[in-house]
Structure 1
Amino acid sequence: MAPSLPPLSQVLDLLPDAVCIVDEHGQLLFVNVAFERLLGYAATEVHGRLLFDFIHPDDRDATLRQARALMEGGGERHFRNRYLHRQGHAVDLLWSAHWLPEQRLRIGVAREIGELQRAERELEHHANHDPLTGLANRRRLELALRNALAEAAESSGQVSLLYVDLAGFKQVNDRDGHEAGDRVLCEVAKRLQQGVRQIDLVARIGGDEFVVLLPGCDAGHARGMAQQLCQQLRVPCALRDGPLRMDASIGIATFPADGRTPDALLAHADKAMYASRGCR
């Protein structure tokens, strides 16, 4: 006697991913056991309800557009969105969807990707931030600077850069060790961030070199900001062998007067920093 196949629903219940079948209006006709495991709702609780009722409010419009595009023969078969768990927290899902025009049904298979999302965010953070201070690194600065220059060129606005170099930092490392030097760099990073606007970007691009990006800021305001930051950096920094009075040299460059490209502005600000007498 030939073996008989089990009902398809039993097979689908073995899958680790959630499987949903909805009609053309988005009404749920079938969900497997994994749906309850991911979102906390049993099949009997969701049958007949709209799938969109379970989607995170911020993702509903985009998901509806995806569904419509899929049913019209376009859209993306794989997309991400967030659903709301029965307990109220968001669940990140990766969907693979298919439209059956003859049956007027959509089939979707969803996988929980919270760990993947966190890993991606962590990798992105490491790629764009200085590991010691948490500030933006050169890569992120260059990207932000390109965007700021593009916006300024379109609106006939201005952008300024402050190139900050600490005075006597090598002596701190030589006298107190690299651990003390790291504490100084972190303190400098903290003071620079506290001294700028929310729209500004502070980046560490070298050992003791920092750059402050000031979108929409002209040369006059940039000079005022440089003086203010110098005053904040002069406040002694507590070290094991006693307080350290920090100082800095700051060079200023402003778009479009001092350059129209990221490289040109950075070079001008670097040169101005070396030419300056600092804030001493």
Structure 2
Amino acid sequence: MTPTLPPAIELLDLLPDAVCVVDADGRFLYVSASFERILGYSREEILGRQTFDLVHPDDRAATRQAAGEVMAGALQRHFRNRYVHRDGHSVDIQWSARWHPGYGVRVAIGREITELRQAERELEHRASHDPLTGLPNRHRLHAELRQAIQRPASDGAGLAVLYVDLDGFKAANDRGGHDVGDRVLVDVAARLLKGVRQHDLVARIGGDEFVVLLRGCRNIHAARTVAEALRARLQPPFQLPDGPITLDASIGIACHPHDGGTAEALLSHADREMFAIKHRRPRDARGAGRASSRAG
């Protein structure tokens, strides 16, 4: 005797992924048991509701677009968005979906990937940030700078790059070793961050070199004002185990588009300006000393 198989609907409840059926208007007609496990809503609470009501507000536009593409005949695989759990937190889900025109329904299977997305975000952060200071690294700086150049400034505001190189930092390493030098770099990063606006960017691009991206900087005069303010922030002594040390900074400036139309050109110009300032400063100091002596 052939055994009687359970209804397919009961088999769907055994799946670890959520199975959903929605109509052409996006209303839930069916959800499997895993839907409640993943999102906290029971079937009674969810049937008849709009799917988009549960989607994270920041992901609704992309979700509506994806749903439209599915209903136009595309087979959707691996679409990711965030839903809002019944208790309020976000849940990352990866969907596969297909439109069945003969029934007028969209069938979708969703797998929770919250832990996967968290791991991916951590890897993305590590790939784009300096592990010592937590600042954006060279790769992230180039991406942000290219994006800032491409974005049209409707208000006519400009863009400036400050190339910051520490003067005297080698003495910190010589006196206390690399661990002490690392602590000084972390302090330098904190001081630079406190000296810029929230929408500006401070990056560490290697060693004792930092770059500040000033969005909406009007002109070279405004950039110089910020550069001098940052230099002043770096001049108070840093505390080492064997006593304080005083650093200075050479800061080169490049303004877009006057000093370059690309990220590479702007950084190269600011680097050259910084190099010139660094090698001119000792001669300036000696000259000032001689002038002071003659005046005395």
TM-score by length of 2: 0.86
Question: Which residue identity is paired with 1:96?
Answer: S
Q: Deviation string for 1:14-52 (max 9, x for gaps)? A: 111001112223332222111111111222333333333
Is this contact kept in 2: 1:193–1:202, CA < 8 A? yes
Looking at structure 2, the residues matched to 102 and 79 of structure 1 have their Cα atoms a distance apart, in angstroms, of: 24
Tell me if structure 1 keeps the 8 A contact 2:26–2:50: yes
Amino acid at match of 1:16: P
Change (3 A) 1:58 1:137: closer
User: Which stretch shows the higher mean deviation, 212-221 or 52-61?
Assistant: 52-61
Q: What is aligned with 2:14? A: 14
Change (3 A) 1:26 1:278: same
**Aligned partners of 1:58 and 1:146: how far apart in 2?**
24
- Match in the other structure for 2:54: 54
- Hey, what's the Cα distance between the residues in 1 that align with 2:5 and 2:112? 29
Matching residue of 2:276:
275
1:17 and 1:35 in contact (8 A); partners too: yes
AA in 1 matched with 2:250: S
Partner of 1:254: 255
Query: Which shifted more, 73-82 or 24-33?
Result: 73-82
Shift of 1:100: 0.8
Give the letter for the 1:172 counterpart: A
**C-alpha distance 75-195 of structure 1, shift in aligned 2 (>3 A):** farther
C-alpha separation between the residues in 2 aligned to 1:52 and 1:233?
50
Q: Structure 1: which 5+ runs fail to align?
A: none
Q: Is the partner of 2:206 in helix, strand or coil?
A: coil
CA distance in 1, matches of 2:187, 2:83: 41
Task: Give the corresponding residue for 1:30.
Answer: 30
Matched positions, count: 280
Return the alpha-carbon distance in structure 1 between the equivalents of residues 83 and 153 of structure 2.
Answer: 40
SS at match of 2:198: coil
Query: Does the CA-based 8 Å contact 1:70-1:77 persist in structure 2?
Result: no
Confirm or deny: 8 A CA contact 1:93 1:112 kept in the other structure.
yes
For 1:207-222, what aligned pairs fall within 5 Å after superposition?
207-217=207-217, 218-222=219-223
Identical amino acids, percent of aligned pairs: 57
Q: CA RMSD in A?
A: 2.2
State the partner residue of 2:162: 162
- Between the aligned partners of 2:198 and 2:9, the Cα distance in structure 1 is 54
- 1:67 and 2:67 are equivalent in the alignment: yes
1:124 partner letter: E
Change (3 A) 1:121 1:168: same
Shift of 1:221: 1.0
Could you give the per-residue CA deviations for residues 210-248 of structure 1, whole angstroms, max 9, x where no partner exists? Answer: 111122322111111111111110111122111221211
Give yes or no for contact 2:19–2:109 (8 Å, CA) kept in 1.
Answer: yes
**Cα distance 1:169–1:87, how it changes in 2: closer, same or farther (>3 A)?**
same
Report the Cα distance in structure 2 between the residues aligned to 1:216 and 1:252, rounded to whole angstroms: 15
- Secondary structure of 1:30's counterpart equals strand
How far apart in 1 are the matches of 2:151 and 2:35?
A: 45
Q: CA deviation at 1:107?
A: 0.8
Matched residue, 1:235: 236
Change (3 A) 1:278 1:40: farther
> Matches of residues 111-260 of structure 1 in structure 2 within 5 Å?
111-151=111-151, 158-217=158-217, 218-260=219-261
Summarize the Cα distance change of 1:58–1:150 in structure 2 as closer, same or farther, 3 Å threshold: closer
